[in-house]
Chains A and B, each alone.
Chain A
Amino acid sequence: EAQVTQNPRYLITVTGKKLTVTCSQNMNHEYMSWYRQDPGLGLRQIYYSMNVEVTDKGDVPEGYKVSRKEKRNFPLILESPSPNQTSLYFCASSFRQGAPYEQYFGPGTRLTVT
């Protein structure tokens, strides 16, 4: 089954403790992206990657890092999480970047930073 998977689905952590949220897709998609969703603010893009070893900032990249060493994986790294990074995170992928291509979203990771 074609899908985007994220792990963990739920995570509670403390301020400053480094964490990684994994994202994997099995569709051989070139483009991958991370979003966060907050009440009243909608979905906002954090980082995206157009292909292996190519990443760029989205609208809200501060406090986050990403890497794209393999085509299928695009982990989101929070080196020193803070409470304002408490949010619902979604990973997405598409065949390639561009207006005609639809994005496939993962099930989400709910992160709480205390």
Chain B
Amino acid sequence: DAKTTQPNSMESNEEEPVHLPCNHSTISGTDYIHWYRQLPSQGPEYVIHGLTSNVNNRMASPAIAEDRKSSTLILHRATLRDAAVYYCILHAYSGAGSYQLTFGKGTKLSVIP
């Protein structure tokens, strides 16, 4: 199974950019890197995904290394509402015509006012 490794927790100051790292050394060429986040007492929420770094939205960008073995989710400006657990996930082919999101433990981001 393609797996990801993330730090357990990180802290950031409000209104500053945040860089959330993710290692995925076993990634294959067709795996997409997805980012989801989960706010307290809510379901996971899609943030962004990509095959390479050529995606962006107003909230975040996934900086994907050229060898695709690691990536960083960049939140452009952290707000208190961004405090959540962030999951870096490889959306990968899991056999028999099936694709699967496999969630790890994620990074708990705390935002300091």
Partners in one complex: yes
A contact set with B: CB distance below 8 Å: 4, 35, 40, 42-45, 48, 50, 56, 58, 90, 92, 97-100, 102-108
Band of interface residues on B? 20 to 34
Q: Chain A residues with Cβ under 8 A from B97's Cβ?
A: 50
> Which residues of B (23-68) have their CB < 8 Å from a CB of A?
30-32, 34, 36, 41-46, 49, 51
Q: Chain B residues with Cβ under 8 A from A4's Cβ?
A: 43
- Given the known inter-chain contacts A99-B32, A100-B49, A102-B49, please indicate yes or no for A43 contacting B91, CB distance below 8 A: no
Complex Cα distance A102/B57, Å?
Answer: 14
- Given the known inter-chain contacts A42-B103, A99-B92, A99-B93, please indicate yes or no for A105 contacting B44, CB distance below 8 A: yes
A-B contact count (CB 8 A): 56
Query: A73 → chain B, closest Cβ, in Å?
Result: 17
Query: B110 → chain A, closest Cβ, in Å?
Result: 19
Supplied contacts A42-B105, A98-B99, A103-B101, 8 more A-B pairs, CB within 8 Å = A35-B103, A42-B104, A43-B103, A44-B103, A102-B49, A103-B36, A106-B43, A108-B43
User: Cβ of A99 and Cβ of B43 under 8 Å apart?
Assistant: no
Complex Cα distance A43/B91, Å?
Answer: 14
